A and B are shown apart, each in its own frame.
Chain A
Amino acid sequence: MLELKNITKRFGDRTIINKLNLTVKDGEILSIVGPSGAGKTTLLRCITGLEKVDGGDFLVDGKPFDPFTNRSNDSVIGVVFQNFELFPHLTVLQNITLAPTMVLKQSEADAQAAANKLLARLNLSDHGDQYPYQLSGGQQQRVAIARALAMKPNVLCYDEPTSALDPNLRQEVEKLILGLKADGMTQIVVSHDLTFAENIADEMLHVEPNQTK
């Protein structure tokens, strides 16, 4: 379970997130929706440790945890970026095994076995030796998911998972996310696509642009 308590984030004198409280239960999907500029992505960046919060606490299973400085080897948060941010010079398999071997110190063989399982799970078995530029957008996204899952995170976060893809791929993404939920994955999805967000969500969080400055 991931809990956010009184999370506050400011950029200069603009308060983007004001004393936000939030709970994501294990195995559930939280959708964060709202118009652009409302701070959804900022909130996600705080949860994933890419931005430092100005106040408040994060708790994982009741234990305090600071995503910004927590650099220990138990990875809590996995991220699938809007543009996937795969490493273009590495093959699909290398993209997935890089962090497990370098950070978790898994052996090359263990990491590859785990990666191959993930690739099979995500229908990418034939693509392990290809480079990201050879894949379609949807395939790249699944590689990004596999890369994040290889670090065995407690929570998997997505930033706008439908926006870089063809509109007709939306249902595929829904299926994929619900499939991972069936596997027991806790997920947080930021989206401006309300229908998509509602289709997958157990909980919805609507964020509005903050009026206070």
Chain B
Amino acid sequence: MRHYIAKRVGYSVLSLLLLSLTIFLFIRLTGDPASLLTEPGASAADVAAIQHKFGLDRPVWVQYGLFMFNLLRGDLGDSFYYQTPVLELYQSRLPHSLLLGVVAMGFSLVLGIPTGILAAIRVGRFWDSAGKLFALLGLSLPSFLVGLLLILFFSVYLEWLPSSGSGTFWHLLMPAFALGWYFAAAHMRLTRSSMLEVLGSEYVKLARLKGLPEALVIGKHAFKNALIPVLTLAGINLIQMINVAVVVETVFAWPGIGRLLYEGVTFRDFPVVQGVVILGGSMIVVVNLLIDIVYALVDPRIRLEQ
């Protein structure tokens, strides 16, 4: 197992390196990184300072070394607009994103798991078809469109919910639903297929042969097993959500990381854009690694592997 974990850690470090290299190279590919890294209309002295900090007049590999050196120190540069370090901005926005992500995840699981189970135990019949339609709509309705339609209905016509901002529970409802919507479809599909697989397993057959009532066969023996892959995906998706939330957060003016990215793009605040991408990608690599390690600790087949 130690070997397995070492290998996974190695791959993750490699992924992080490649990520940073990708981002570094794309910035250099434009030909004029200084114009991206300095404020529009910056003074000659500012430009010179940036050129010195990133070694823009030196060979590319030195530049990459400096880039990595700054990254590892946690220095992602300062925001032009807010005049504060990007890392601080990111940290101040993260709780909002997490809150939105967790509630959206709740929505998606509450919607996705029961419909997925229903579709699986009624496979080929009405509820299965209804589930398929729901999954299809989930994948075909972009979350920002769902968000706009929700605003139109609940804020403009019914005047029940605030259309933007944050602070109260009511502010959270629509963005969370809009964000959870897409993932609900994904969770429904996975629940269905994983439930179908479990229902075909020998232990579910044995549970039936034991003479257990169907409710117990599904509720106890099938449910728990079918849920494992869904919860794994949900774990990965929670991080995805925080990063994908950019359109939903923009629609509802929710002060999370997605909104920060949008602001970065709109104000041409390049350090912010770069920081959000690097931190987002790193978070996903690290979370994937953690999930793999937890699996290795839990699953005897990996645990016992030498």
**A and B found bound together:** no
